[in-house]
Amino acid sequence: MQRAAFQRAVLNWFDQHGRTNLPWQQDISPYRVWVSEIMLQQTQVSTVIPYFQRFMQSFPNVHALAATPLDNVLHHWTGLGYYARARNLHKTAQLVSDQHSGEFPNTIAGLCELPGIGRSTAGAISSIAFKIPATILDGNVKRVLARFSATEGWPGKSDVVQKLWLVAEQYTPEHRIADYTQAMMDLGATVCTRSSPNCNQCPLAGDCIAYAQDNQTQYPGKKPRKILPVRNTCLLLIHNQDGELLLQQNPPAGLWGGLWVLPQVESEADIVASCAALGLEVVDQHSHTIKRHTFSHFHLDYQPIVVNTIDRAHSVADTHNQVWYNRENPLSLGMPAPVLALLHP
């Protein structure tokens, strides 16, 4: 398919069927495009919409985001997962605010120097916010182009993704770049879907190799399956005599970095000693059913255990990384979804 014909087909389809009412498509700015693109990484549009709206209400510009504590950013991110995105968002906001006077770089190279912004995200910001021709290759676009060109292999492999970048660059237009970028993302999200592509509605079906072969779902190639290891832990819902729950803040780096979590022990046998080390006397404890939370690289099987304690010496005080949490008057803290679900079932 010729370059001009490809572009024309995609844009004509977008003019009739493209999404134009998403929150980040209103009052377009580099800041709003950037936040939406980060949120949309590995997260569905329907999930992102309310988070984006709350985020913009609290942090309407990059200076507001830069000025707020990281813990407030993590609080607004609670439930979206992949919290490194939120930490990088905060770092980038501070860099843009402090070193760029609040203005985002308008080049791919400049954008890619900022934490959490890769080549495709930079392309989206450039094309949508700055109207500068730039190529994108997010998950939806990878799927469209892998099927259209019958590019074999899992796009997580460097050689496969490089082939797809070449295809994407081949068809990226000089004009109407913002519409084209949105069109390609919409095409993958609404027509060329993962399991049930609606090829009869696709403007590219007539030249799509996978469609001609009748094996659309074979592209892109599947990620090699691996058996995830299982880790086990006990999450302690430690209550004091006032009914408050003890929360501790994780270090900035690592799993659930910077988030507020419940104290953990390896087994129930460690509970009394762990509480004693904090100056807490255990009154009673009872266990709940083991639950599972899956990360990208392992399963976490955790047993919630309610532990009622007495802090006779008032030795456990609120500090910068430890608080007594009142469920009736909750603090605005960033927490991982499993912890939030235990605190507010």
Q: Which residues are tagged catalytic?
A: 37
Instruction: List CB contacts of 177: < 8 A, sequence separation 6 or more.
Output: 127, 131, 132, 133, 134
315 φ/ψ angles, rounded to the nearest 5 degrees: -85, -20
In the structure encoding, which two tokens stand for residue 339, read together? Answer: 């912890």
CA distances from 88 to 29, 62, 273 (A): 19, 13, 37
Relative to beta strand 230-239, strand 299-310 is parallel
- For Cα atoms 145, 158, 300, give the angle at the middle one, nearest 5 degrees: 100
Contact 301, 313 (CB under 8 A): no
What is the DSSP track for 206-275? Answer: GG-HHHHHT-GGG-SPPPPP-PPPEEEEEEEEEE-TTS-EEEEEPPSSSTTTT-EE--EESSGGGHHHHH
In the structure encoding, which two tokens stand for residue 111, read together? Answer: 């954008």
Contact 289, 341 (CB under 8 A): no
Helices within 68-171 (DSSP H only): 70-77, 84-99, 108-112, 119-124, 139-149, 158-171
Q: What is the 3-state secondary structure (H, E, C) of 272-325?
A: HHHHHHCCCEEEEEEECCCEEEECCCCEEEEEEEEEEEECCCCCCCCECCEEEE
